[in-house]
Amino acid sequence: MAEFILEIGTEEMPARFVPKLAAELKETFAKLLDEAMVENGGVATYATPRRITAHVATIADTQRQEEETVTGPPTRIAYDEEGNLTKAGAGFAKTQGVDEADLFKMDTGKGEYLAARKVVGGGKTFEILPEICLKAISVLSFPKKMRWGNYDYAFGRPLRWLLALLDADVVEFSIENMTAGRTTRGHRVMGHGPHTVNSTADYFSIIENDCNVVIDPEVRKQTIVEEGNRLAKELGGEIVWTNGLLEEVANLVEFPMPIIGDIDDLYLELPREVLLTSMQSHQKSFGVQGPDGKLMPHFLTTLNLEPTDVALVKKGWERVLKARLEDARFFWEADTKVKFQTWLDKLENVVFLGPLGSVGDKARRIEILCGKLAEKLGESKSILPGEIEKYAEAGRLSKADLVSEMVIEFDSLQGKMGGIYAERAGKSEIVSRGIYEQYLPAGPETPVPSSLSGALVSMADKVDTMAGCFGLGKKPTGANDPYALRRCALGIARIIMEHELDIDLKVFIKAAQDAYSKDIKWKVEQDESFVNLLDFFGQRLRAYFTGMGFDTRAVDAALSADFNDIRTLKVRLEALSDFTKEEDFEQAVLTFKRAANIIRKQGDEAGQELSGAYSPELFEGDAEAAFGTKLEEMAPRFDDLWESNDFAGLMGLLRELRPTVDAFFDNVMVMCDDVDVRLNRLNLLKALVDKLGRLADFNALQV
């Protein structure tokens, strides 16, 4: 076994590229080695802004050998009438590199064909690796590629060196004017090089000691966190860590050197959100907070070298951040002098989306929807009659901060600043929290609003955008979703489920459509748009629940029954999913599917109107009477369990009911000659199917 190293040296990559490149190179290189039948102990990859490295600690010296059978032309073509090989047969032997005497006939099931057995593999890994390296590098993906000089080769950033070693031997391959060798480059300031690597055994020590590069991104993150925590502890505080920013900072540097900087106390008068945004977004720095959770006049930044004069560098960072904070303080002071009505008036001149009017129009629609939602939820969420107008006010003021000085400069603070300004203006907590949390959830991994008002404003905002876009024919197609409508639908669903909101989805969508002005010229009729929107919600719910690991059949069955009440959908799906794992599941499905199929074929398809109302006086025989009696006894229990959302109990009722249904099918002829008796039996089954259909579409549970 040998050891292999591939290093791709580049000009500085954007931080967002770095972890993706390492993951992609790992997957690609492992796949290529497997396809080439080269045994190995696994591929590890490392990346910094200036290099991507693949390391195979143990790799076989030669390919694995395998015998495979290859078929050629049909024997009627491979041999002539005298039994001699034709040109087609001889050509097959030559192509496969086998003697003609080793050819044989093989029956493939589609006829008799000429075949040969040959041994593949066995080549030297050293000779195979150049092609693997070239392919692995060429398939790395980037949002955009660039060319440099007069070369045609495109990559994320210009290539500067290539190193490829199998133990002490150079694996030679070329890309444009660069040929892989044994030379690497180090940190631009602290170990530039070039540095010669005599063998793979020396690589990591040279990278660490001579190049002064921390090649492992996890070690870089650990260094930043440990040193940052130590420095903050000396100040009696702690770092306000943000995982996304930590990942970014670790991939901006090759030699992490955290230092603490100071800010003037006067800037602590700014809201926490403003301070942290100024530090994080613009300076890639972290805030420092005290034991009381309040920010301290310090920040943590990470250098990419060990400076000779730390104080001078520290002063430079402080000067740059001060300029940002000074801007923020100016915007804060300017905004606090403005009344909300001034901003609302400005919204009338801000276009929302083409024919859909201004952002001011959108805010009024959100106001209407928030009021209706609050009124509908009422007692179920302890909303007092006098509070409904506060929820509506949160909707009306939700977009005001879009024209504030602070949000124009720091757009990531939209909503948050509105909430802060509302609180400062003396608005109620319902109003301020509703505005502050309106953009949550921002994605599948972010939390939903914690407050009820935030939940309602967020839902109203999202459904308004969806209703408008679908009415204009702007629904997502393929991967194209410029208005984030998939995220809107998923956000609404998550809010309903996590806040347990008793909301009728159809009524909610219709209210969003009705909130729009009658003067808008829609490209899609509202009835058609409504159907499209409802179907879109179903698709997103299906993707959401299958992504959570639920069985696809159970998801389809639950959604096909109904998803108008999203609040209870997950609980119903969980009960159905558990039901699919029971031993008697398949037989139960067949029983209930049989009932549904009879109703569909003999009722709907035959044009026979069935109401589900039946008469016990028309029952004939014990099996039919027992089925009717059991169904009658079960009805109030079914309704009670449904009202209490006890779907596991409802599945238990189905198990309890099934023996009488089986006995009915075994002993009763549904389609008998007597018209009244036949119709009564069909209605008996219709009553059963109507109840089952509320739980699941059993036809979707294929077994």
Sorted by where each starts, the structural domains of the chain and their CATH numbers stand as 2-62+124-210 (3.30.70), 66-120 (no CATH), 217-333 (no CATH), 342-549 (1.10.3210), 574-700 (1.10.730)
Three-class DSSP category at 580: coil
pLDDT digits (tens, 9 = 90+) for 74-94: 888 888 877 888 888 888 888
Torsion sign (Cα): 294, 295, 297, 301: positive
Q: Which of 95-104, 282-291, 401-410, 565-574 shows the lowest per-residue confidence on average (mean pLDDT)?
A: 95-104
- Rounded CA gap, 504 and 307, in Å? 62
Q: Which of 153-157, 365-369, 685-689 shows the lowest per-residue confidence on average (mean pLDDT)?
A: 685-689
pTM of the predicted protein model: 0.81
- Rounded CA gap, 10 and 49, in Å? 8
Q: Are 655 and 578 in contact (CB under 8 A)?
A: no
Confidence class for position 106, pLDDT limits 50, 70, 90: confident
Structure tokens, 297: 């006049």
Higher pLDDT, 554 or 604: 554
Read off the pLDDT of each residue in 631-646 and give the average, rounded to a whole number.
89
The torsion angles phi and psi of 205, rounded to 5 degrees, stand at: -70, -35
Q: Which of 79-88, 389-398, 550-559 shows the lowest per-residue confidence on average (mean pLDDT)?
A: 79-88
The torsion angles phi and psi of 351, rounded to 5 degrees, stand at: -75, 130
Interhelix angle 359-377/388-397, nearest 10 degrees: 160
Region class of 116: left (phi > 0), else alpha (psi between -120 and 50), else beta? beta
- Rounded CA gap, 570 and 579, in Å? 14
Neighbours of 82 (CB within 10 A): 5
Looking at residue 160, its pLDDT comes to 95
- Rounded CA gap, 437 and 499, in Å? 14
pLDDT digits (tens, 9 = 90+) for 416-463: 999 999 999 999 999 999 999 999 998 888 999 999 999 999 999 999
Higher pLDDT, 575 or 95: 575
- What percentage of the chain carries pLDDT values higher than 90? 65
b (16+ CB within 10 A) / e for 349-383: eeebeebbbbbbbbbbbbbbbbbbbbebbeeebeb
Quick check: 289 pLDDT over 80? yes
The mean pLDDT value of the chain amounts to: 92
Q: Are 165 and 182 in contact (CB under 8 A)?
A: yes
Q: Which of 98-102, 162-166, 201-205, 557-561 shows the lowest per-residue confidence on average (mean pLDDT)?
A: 98-102
pLDDT digits (tens, 9 = 90+) for 111-141: 888 888 877 777 889 999 999 999 999 999 9
Burial of 150 (0-12, 13-18, 19+ CB in 10 A): exposed
Looking at residue 604, its pLDDT comes to 60
Quick check: 151 pLDDT over 70? yes
Q: Which of 56-60, 244-248, 323-327, 655-659 shows the lowest per-residue confidence on average (mean pLDDT)?
A: 655-659
Higher pLDDT, 321 or 443: 321
Read off the pLDDT of each residue in 499-516 and give the average, rounded to a whole number.
96
